[in-house]
Amino acid sequence: MTEFNKEIDAAFQSAWHADKGGDAKWGAIMQQYGAEPLSDGLKKELLNSEMKITRGAFPIELRRVMEKIMAKYPNDAQGFRMDEKVLEYYQKIKPFSGLGDIFANAVTGTQKYSEGLQKEKTKTIKCKNCGAPRLEEMQYDKCMFCGGELAESF
C-alpha cells in the first residue's frame, strides 16, 4: 500500500469513527491537514436536513482532508476517484437501508409528489453525487453535504 493510500484510508477511518457530525479528534485531524471545517451553524443545519447520518464526520469534511492528501502526493493521486470515495463513505454513515428505508422512501416519494403539485415548476438543485438538495437559503456551487457538483433539474 502506498503512503497516499495509507493516509486516505486513515482519514476515512477517522471520519467514520468520529461522533455524528464530527468530534474533537476529527477536528484535530482536519487542523493537522489544514482543511477547513464546516461552521457550527452549517453543521446544525445539515444535521436537521433530510440528508441523515447516523455517525461520523460530514462527507464534505472528509473530502477536504482527502483533497489535502491528494495535493501532498500528486503522482499517487492521479486516477483517484474522489466522488466515488465520498459516496462510499456516505453509504457507511447513512441510516441502515433495509425494508424500512424502502418504506420511508415510498412515503417520502408520495410527499414529494404532492409537494411537487403545490410548487409546480419549482426548480430544484440537487447534488449529482449524493442527491442532497441545495439548502434553499444559501447560494453556493458545491454540495454542502458531500462537496459534489450540483445540477439543476426541473
Interface ranges with Zn ion (CB under 5 A): 127, 129-130, 132, 143, 145-146, 148
Pick the closer one to Zn ion by CB: 26 or 145. Answer: 145
Q: How far is the CB of 135 from Zn ion (least distance, A)?
A: 11
With cell 500500500, the residue in question is 1
Q: Nearer Cβ to Zn ion, position 18 or 144?
A: 144
Q: At what angle do helices 59-72 and 3-17 cross, to 10 degrees?
A: 160
Q: Are 133 and 124 contacting, i.e. CB atoms less than 8 angstroms apart?
A: yes
Bridge partner residues of 127 (DSSP): 150
The residue (of 20 and 126) whose beta carbon lies closer to Zn ion is 126
Closer to Zn ion by Cβ: residue 4 or 46: 46
CA–CA–CA angle 139, 141, 142 (5° rounding):
115
To Zn ion, the closest distance from the beta carbon of 22 in angstroms equals 17
CB of 114 to Zn ion, least distance (A): 25
Cα separation, 35 vs 60, whole angstroms: 10
Nearest approach, Cβ of residue 148 and Zn ion (Å)? 4
CA 3 – CA 95 distance, rounded (Å):
32
- Minimum Å gap between C-beta 126 and Zn ion is 8
- Judge contact between 134 and 122, C-beta under 8 A: no
Nearer to Zn ion, 4 or 145 (CB): 145
